[in-house]
Amino acid sequence: MEDSESVATLMDSTTSKIHQLQKAFAELESHRAVTLNLKWKELEEHFHGLERSLKRRFHELEDQEKQYETKTRRAREILEKREAAVVAKEQVSLDKLQEKRDAAIFSISNALQKHRKVSSVEPAVVSYDDQFGSPAIDDQPPEAMTAESNLGEIIDPSENGNLEYPQLVELCEQMDSEGLHKFISDNRKNLAVLKEEIPLALKAAANPAQFVLNSLEDFYPKEVSNVDGKKDSTLLGVRRTCIMLMECLSILLMYTDPVSISDVISEDVKDQAKAIAEEWKPRLDSLDVDANNGNSLEAHAFLQLLATFGIASDFDEEELSRLIPMVSRRRQAAELCRFLGLSEKMPGLLKSCCT
């Protein structure tokens, strides 16, 4: 009997404990639902925050892109305006250069015309005229060829007897470069006449090209530094004379027989000219492009040496182009570009000079 009651009591207590456990489990379930709900809200808020941040960054990038496009468009407009201005300046500069060149040719033609011998008989050609050559003119502009052909008719060796300075012929016959320098210096007031008559007088030299090369000996005297040379008026006069003699040799070559060019500018003479150019070139590296304001005698002489003796191909074209701004204000700049084969780079060189 007692055992039955004990079993009944245990069953009642088990039922009660089951109810308590069920209640505890239900309570635990409710807490778990709250915890999961809180975690989801945190995650949702986090992702919404990321979305807002990405949208904000996206709009910022869009604004920056619009600003960049605006700046690019403005820069392009500015470049187009500058390009148009440079083209206009180039055209004006080329027009002015052409005007000066035409005026110079007209002036030379008129001056040389005074020395023409008025005769109904055709002038005789001196026998040594065939010994000299000239550079080909096929690559010259048509207008330059026309003007130069007119000048070629004026420069005639038979006119040596009509020279205002016959001493020039004697000095050239004797190959006396020092005496020629002194004579030019003493008669510098009549430099225009000298420039007209020296090409004629050079024909009397046994070797005109060698004679002109010899005259360059004192362009860089050993006892004068590069800095002092810019202040030495005597040396500046010598350098101007050297440039003028090379120009006169170019004129002589221009109007003689192209077939005989190698007789005047022989390979030996070219080698000597190249050696002189190689010696001068390092001295140009120390020159300031702006210091000479586009009027450098040293750069002009170097370029004229290359042009006169036809050795420009032995030097780097880009390096020669960098020297052009140093002579941009000299009247021979355009002609030098043509003889050095830099005509195609003239627009860029003019832009460099203008900026």
pLDDT digits (tens, 9 = 90+) for 58-75: 889 999 999 999 999 999
Confidence at residue 213, expressed as pLDDT on a 0 to 100 scale: 95
Lowest-pLDDT range of 12-21, 175-184, 196-205, 220-229: 220-229
- Separation of alpha carbons 241 and 191, rounded Å: 10
* Rounded average pLDDT over 331-335: 84
- Separation of alpha carbons 29 and 23, rounded Å: 10
Q: Which of 242, 314, 241 is CA-nearest to residue 277? A: 314
Task: Of 156-170, 223-237, 243-257, give the range with the top mean pLDDT.
Answer: 243-257
Lowest-pLDDT range of 48-52, 212-216, 259-263, 307-311: 259-263
310-348: burial string, b at 16+ Cβ within 10 Å, e else: bbbeebeeeebbebbbbbbebebbbbbbbbbebeebbee
Tokens 């202040």 label which residue? 231
Confidence at residue 145, expressed as pLDDT on a 0 to 100 scale: 37
- Separation of alpha carbons 55 and 61, rounded Å: 10
Tokens 């039922």 label which residue? 15
- Separation of alpha carbons 112 and 154, rounded Å: 6
Confidence at residue 146, expressed as pLDDT on a 0 to 100 scale: 34
Confidence at residue 306, expressed as pLDDT on a 0 to 100 scale: 94
Say whether pLDDT at 129 is over 60: no
Tokens 């001056």 label which residue? 111
Contact 129, 203 (CB under 8 A): yes
Lowest-pLDDT range of 200-214, 254-268, 271-285: 254-268
Say whether pLDDT at 108 is over 90: no
Contact 198, 248 (CB under 8 A): yes
Confidence at residue 125, expressed as pLDDT on a 0 to 100 scale: 32
Lowest-pLDDT range of 243-247, 282-286, 292-296, 323-327: 292-296
Contact 255, 152 (CB under 8 A): yes
Say whether pLDDT at 123 is over 60: no
Higher per-residue confidence, 228 vs 81? 81
pLDDT averaged over the chain? 77
Confidence at residue 22, expressed as pLDDT on a 0 to 100 scale: 75
Say whether pLDDT at 8 is over 90: no
What confidence tier does 148 reach under pLDDT thresholds 50, 70, 90? very low
Dihedral in degrees, nearest 10, Cα atoms 100, 103, 107, 113: 130
Say whether pLDDT at 272 is over 70: yes
Q: Is 299 exposed, middle or buried (0-12, 13-18, 19+ CB in 10 A)?
A: buried
* Rounded average pLDDT over 156-183: 82
What confidence tier does 12 reach under pLDDT thresholds 50, 70, 90? low
Say whether pLDDT at 35 is over 60: yes
Higher per-residue confidence, 32 vs 150? 32
Q: How many residues in the chain?
A: 355
What confidence tier does 346 reach under pLDDT thresholds 50, 70, 90? low
What confidence tier does 120 reach under pLDDT thresholds 50, 70, 90? very low
Confidence at residue 352, expressed as pLDDT on a 0 to 100 scale: 52
What confidence tier does 298 reach under pLDDT thresholds 50, 70, 90? very high
pTM across the whole model: 0.55
What confidence tier does 151 reach under pLDDT thresholds 50, 70, 90? very low
Q: Which of 116, 93, 112 is CA-nearest to residue 104? A: 112
What confidence tier does 308 reach under pLDDT thresholds 50, 70, 90? very high
